[in-house]
Amino acid sequence: MDTWRKVVRWIDRASLISGQILAWWTLLAVVIITYEVTARYVFDRPTNWAHESMTLLFGMQYILSGAFAHYCKAHVRVDVVYQVLSPRNRARIDVLTDLLFFFYVGVMTYTGWFFYWDSQKMGEVSFTDWGPPLYPVKFTVFLGSLLLLLQGFAHFIRDCYFAATGSELT
Q: How far is the C-alpha of 146 from the C-alpha of 166, rounded, in Å?
A: 29
| Per-residue b or e along 57-88, where b marks 16 or more CB atoms closer than 10 Å to that residue's CB | beebbebbbbbbebbeeeeeeeeeeeeeeeee
Phi, psi angle pair for 125, to nearest 5°? -125, 160
Q: What is the pLDDT of residues 130-149, one digit of tens each?
A: 888 999 999 999 999 999 99
Q: Pick the residue with more confidence: 159 or 76?
A: 159
Q: Model pTM?
A: 0.87
What is the pLDDT confidence band of residue 5, given thresholds at 50, 70 and 90? confident
The helix (run of H) or strand (run of E) holding residue 127 is none
Q: How far is the C-alpha of 116 from the C-alpha of 94, rounded, in Å?
A: 31
Looking at residue 10, its pLDDT comes to 95
Q: What is the pLDDT of residues 78-107, one digit of tens each?
A: 778 788 888 898 888 889 989 999 999 999
Specify the DSSP class assigned to residue 133. Answer: B
What is the pLDDT confidence band of residue 7, given thresholds at 50, 70 and 90? very high
Looking at residue 1, its pLDDT comes to 62
